[in-house]
Amino acid sequence: MSFRMIAQERPGNPWFSWDYVQGNSDTILAALREHAALTAQAVLIATVVAIPLAVLAYWVRPLTGPILALSGALYTIPSLALFAFIAPYLGTGTSTVLVGLVVYALLLIIRNTLAGLNQVPPEVRDAARGMGYGRLAQLLRIELPLALPGILTGVRLATVSTVALTTVGVLVGHGGLGQLILGGFRNNFFRAEIMTGTLLCVLLALVLDLLLAGAERLLTPWSRRRAEAG
Amino acid sequence: MNPIDQAVRWLNDPLNWTNPGGILDRLVEHLGISAAAVALGCLVAWPLGLWLGHIGRGGGLVVLVSNVTLAIPTIALLTILPLTPIGFGKPPVILALAVFAVPPLLANAYTGIRQVDPEVREAARGMGLSGGQLLRRVELPLAVPYLAAGFRTAAVQVVATAALASFVNGGGLGQIVAAGFGLGISVGGGQILAGGLLVALLALLVELVLALVERLVTPRPLRRAVRRTRRRADQRATAAITGS
């Protein structure tokens, strides 16, 4: 009952306060910067690792099942458990958070890249071979560009979920905006701090999603033209 | 001593299992919270999803719900809900977890009804079934495999997410990991690893058991067809999310 009193009946604990935001802009910006940096690094590394794996699964059919099953199993492991596996080895730094985030982003990107590659029409593949493209040239100049919508879908899904997942990094003290959320909770249930962290987190996810959607439009002009024609 | 030896040693201490707040206590707590959250999620998402599927509207709402919840951090809900009139204790934790159980339950209930063959629906109507009878006797039985699939996804997700309740001292197996971090990595490393292992094993176990349940409730002739339509539904959902 005493907790309830502190949290609810105490006056001057509003859900949002400009005073707090102005007075602590340095802390808030630092948290936001860490959050954005962790998300960007994680998605970038995951993309660089996932695309070759997806290509491998695409080229070597017998490997498709194992690669998808392994990344699926990794995805089932709860985030807290994953961070707990990594922390004793990498310590309580950003690297622990980064490795965990990469693992989760991997599955989404692999799965969507593979779906994109599989959607390339067989006639297109035949035509490329008939024109004398080698395997690698065909991949780089025909198949990957045509799989781009799938790849970008994966990257977008991975980005949005990584933004939310980064907050779990508070476990090792590097959760970006999660530091504000949990910090506010531990600091006498300071609502303004919790709410600022939450809002910035959702906003960051929204902004990154819109940016990637814009990039998708720029990079795949043909799909827009097709949509207009149809 | 490396963390793995430490973890094995920690798990081998019977007191760590039977003490108050030991593994067994935490396991019961974890399962209790998760079960309540999934039950609450079903109570809200299934009637809504079935009804939306029955009237054939609200596909946009289903996609919207899953998009919005994807962007909300679990920790935010876990810290905000206790400060609302709900108050502290188990209810806010259960409610926070239920929010994350809703999207898979809702989407699968909706898809389950929508995938029913229109001809079957016509035939039922022609036999004089009313809207409610159609839903209860025709659409619902055909949607059971989808409901089971949604249930599995939601339950695994809730069991995994319940570990985060330890951030707000909400109980569950996550407390073991949190307590390990409280001791510091050099001392508590084994406990952190052991806690992580327990949480991961529980999630995988729930996944396996519910996969079995899902197989059992799917009549054999439906198995292949269900897999095919679900793949198509996934593609449609992805297309809807990306707006392509």
Q: Please state the ipTM of this predicted complex.
A: 0.80
* B241 pLDDT above the threshold of 80: no
Helix (H) or strand (E) holding A100: helix A94-118
Is residue B228 pLDDT above 70, yes or no?
A: no
> Given its phi and psi angles, is residue A151 left (phi above 0), alpha (psi -120 to 50 degrees) or beta?
alpha
Q: Residue A216: its chain B contacts at CB < 8 A? A: 242
> Do B114 and B56 form a contact (C-beta atoms < 8 A)?
yes
Backbone region of residue B72 per phi and psi (left: phi > 0; alpha: psi in -120 to 50; beta: other values): beta
> What is chain B's percent helix, strand, coil content, to nearest 5?
85, 0, 15
**Chain B residues in contact with A88 (beta carbon < 8 A):** 3, 185, 189-190, 192-193
Question: Tokens 């960007």 correspond to what residue?
Answer: A40
State which residue of chain A sits closest to B164, comparing Cα positions.
Answer: A80
- pLDDT tens digits, residue range B70-104? 888 888 999 998 888 888 888 999 999 999 999 99
Tokens representing residue A136 in the block: 């690698």
CA angle, corner A41, sides to A39 and A47, nearest 5?
100
Nearest CA to B65 out of B154, B136, B148, B156 is that of: B154
CA distance B220 to chain A (A): 23
Task: Indicate if the pLDDT at residue B60 is higher than 70.
Answer: yes
Q: Which residues contact A74 (CB under 8 A, 6 or more apart)?
A: A103, A104, A106, A107
With contact defined as beta carbons under 8 Å apart, do A202 and A75 qualify? Answer: no
Contact A182 B193 (CB under 8 A): no
Please tell me if residue A213 touches chain B, with a CB cutoff of 8 Å. Answer: yes
Q: Please indicate whether residue B19 or residue A200 has the higher confidence score (pLDDT).
A: A200
Burial per residue of B125-139, b for 16 or more beta-carbon CB atoms within 10 angstroms, e otherwise: eeeebeeeebbeebb
Six-digit token pair at B40?
A: 């609450």
Q: How far is A22 from chain B (nearest CA, A)?
A: 21
Q: CATH fold of B3-242, please?
A: MetI-like fold (1.10.3720)
> Is A8–B71 a contact, with Cβ atoms under 8 angstroms apart?
no
Q: Which of residues 188-217 of B touch A (CB under 8 A)?
A: 189-190, 192-193, 195-197, 199-200, 203-204, 207
Q: What are the average pLDDT values for consecutive 10-residue runs of chain A, which has 230 residues?
A: 51 79 88 94 95 93 88 84 86 88 91 92 92 92 91 92 91 88 86 91 93 89 66
User: Which residues, including other chains, have CB under 8 Å from residue B34's CB and lie 6 or more apart?
Assistant: B97, B155, B158, B159, B162
Measured in angstroms, the CA of B234 and the nearest CA of chain A are apart by: 11
| Residue-level pLDDT at B218 | 82
Comparing CB atoms, the residue among B79, B166, B192 nearest residue A194 is B79
Residues B56-80 have a mean pLDDT of: 86
Gap between the Cα atoms of A204 and A219, Å rounded: 22
Asked if B37 and B162 touch (Cβ cutoff 8 Å), the reply is yes
Find the distance separating the first CA and the last CA of chain A, reported in whole Å.
Answer: 62
- pLDDT attached to residue A220: 82
Question: CA B203, B25, B12, A100: dihedral to nearest 10 degrees?
Answer: 40
Average pLDDT over every residue of B29-38: 95
Report d(CA B132, CA B50) in Å as an integer: 11
- Domains with residue ranges and CATH for chain A: 14-229 (1.10.3720.10)
Helices (H) and strands (E) in chain A, counts: 12, 0
